[in-house]
Amino acid sequence: MDFHQSARRLNILDLPEEILFAIFGILDCPDDPEAPWPGSPYWMRHDIGRLKTMQALRLVCRRFCRHASHLLVPELRVSISPESLYRVDQLTRNPQIAAGVRSLLVSLAYRPAEVADTPSRYKELQKEALQNRIRSLSEVEDDAFLEAFNQGSESGDSLEVDKAERSNLSKAFARFTEISRAWSGWEEKERHDEFQNLLSQSYQEYLRKHKEQKQLLGSGSFVAALAESVSRVPSLSTLALVDNPEMDPGLLGFRANLPLLADYSPEALRQWLTSAHTWYTIENTLGDIPPEQPFDIFTVELLWQLPMALHAVGVHITHFSALLPKMSNFAKLCPQTHQYGNRDPSSTDWSTLAAAFQSLRSSHISTRWDPSIDLPSSKHMSPQNQAYRNGYLSAVLSSPALEDVKVNFKGLTFMVRHQMFIPAGSVFSTTCFPRIRRLSLDGIAFTEEELLRFFDGIGHRIETVHLHRIGVSNGGGWTRPLNILRDKVSGRETSMSIWSA
């Protein structure tokens, strides 16, 4: 018999284990600084194709399942709930899946006591949210019509498809308007009772979930349980703390769930009505509460509790992203060194928090921006609040290995005859960045001397500098600081944009 006829044809399963592992490794998450930041909707779109590939590969055979499993869950998404903690615990107990986790994304969304304990405030909050949804649907409907019109000029098929989408938008608009009218007492009795019952049931569920969150945060069990689970993840590098209740398109997303919106699913609406709120919503809704009765956003403390807890179990974070509060609860940025008593930023030992960030290579710190909200300076520009914010920022930026720094305080700028910026120049002037490559700052005030020291502490590896809305106070100027910065980048191709106030 001819040897070539009897020889079995080799296939991919005959490859050695190390070669198969290398092939599957090509599909792993790239360490690409230009890729969308974990947690953003753009990151989900960026990564959805890779995820579907992983899911398909695992179904091929047992060997493929073994080699692809560690690529299945590159990011753990956690909200403050027992169910979320349980899912993370179960996932990290699987060594193959835990081996591929690179990022931990934690939602800081919360259900405040001021809403949970007051049914009337809860109703007004949800009615306002529903009316905002109606306005948004109206805007999306107009955009969909314009988009369909423009596409229809090139393709008749596009216009027909968008007619169906426009119909769903119109139905959703009518349905949400009907619910809003019922909550205002303007709807006929039968529909009024149906929607009022839905509101009442949702409130009871909201109150229950608030108590769960309060217990998890107040007892410290959320941080402890999450740190224990993450200690089983050998390659975790990214921690992102985001102000997002769902961390996905959501049950009531516009285009992805138009049939659901039009058909009106009570269960979907109930889940939306019981979901946690962003800090932005809480601060804007509860901003009318007198200063002597401040409201608490307990999740602000996670900004220092989680990094310190992860560091304590041996997790070394190299990429960190966090959103800071905008108008209140600044004291909660300050680590508590004792259980009771006032937090004094001047006497706080920030070194333990700084130690948790010593491995950072990239750090992104920001505040939410809304041009329609006027910030009164008395709420966030007092010397003590500045000390809380600057102390936290100093700890986050203390790593000598930082290569990528982005600090966006645009959301904290305000107008008093002229634009005012956050006086955080002292943080940057006392910090050295010997390895930095990419730098982006927005909404920060420096003195000229602070700028001089800051630019002098930047290493010669800098490639990108974006300085937007940077104020130079006390009559200072840019000439001398820019001369130092030019020396740092001379002879190399760099990207630089500076927009001074």
Residues ≥6 apart with Cβ < 8 Å to 367: 323, 324, 325, 326, 408, 409, 410, 411, 412
| C-alpha atoms less than 13 angstroms from C-alpha of 493 in its C-beta half-sphere | 0
SS (H, E, C) 291-338: CCCCCCCHHHHHHHHHHHHHHHCCCCCCEEEEECCCCCCHHHHCCCCC
Answer for the pair 247, 145: CB distance below 8 angstroms, yes or no.
Answer: no
- pLDDT over 90 at 321, yes or no: yes
What is residue 438's three-state secondary structure?
A: strand
Q: What angle do CA 387, 356, 283 make, to 5 degrees?
A: 45
In whole angstroms, give the CA distance from residue 309 to residue 321: 16
Q: Give residue-wise pLDDT tens across range 182-230.
A: 777 665 666 677 778 888 899 999 999 999 999 999 999 999 999 999 9
What is residue 344's three-state secondary structure?
A: coil
What is residue 9's three-state secondary structure?
A: coil
Answer for the pair 435, 413: CB distance below 8 angstroms, yes or no.
Answer: no
Phi/psi of residue 161, nearest 5 degrees: -60, -45
Q: Quick one: tokens of 410?
A: 């645009």
Say which residue the tokens 């200063």 belong to.
291
Q: Quick one: tokens of 424?
A: 């955080």
Residues ≥6 apart with Cβ < 8 Å to 62: none
Q: Give residue-wise pLDDT tens across range 114-126.
A: 899 988 888 888 8
Q: Give residue-wise pLDDT tens across range 339-353.
A: 444 566 666 779 999
Least Cα distance to 330 among 408, 390, 397 occurs for 390
- pTM for the whole structure: 0.80
The pLDDT, as a whole number, for residue 38 is 45
The pLDDT, as a whole number, for residue 418 is 56
- pLDDT over 60 at 32, yes or no: no
Average pLDDT over residues 135-145: 59
Task: Kindly state the helix (H) or strand (E) to which residue 76 belongs, with its residue range.
Answer: strand 75-78
In whole angstroms, give the CA distance from residue 387 to residue 334: 9
Least Cα distance to 111 among 223, 211, 3 occurs for 211
In whole angstroms, give the CA distance from residue 285 to residue 8: 71
Query: What is the residue-averaged pLDDT of the chain?
Result: 76
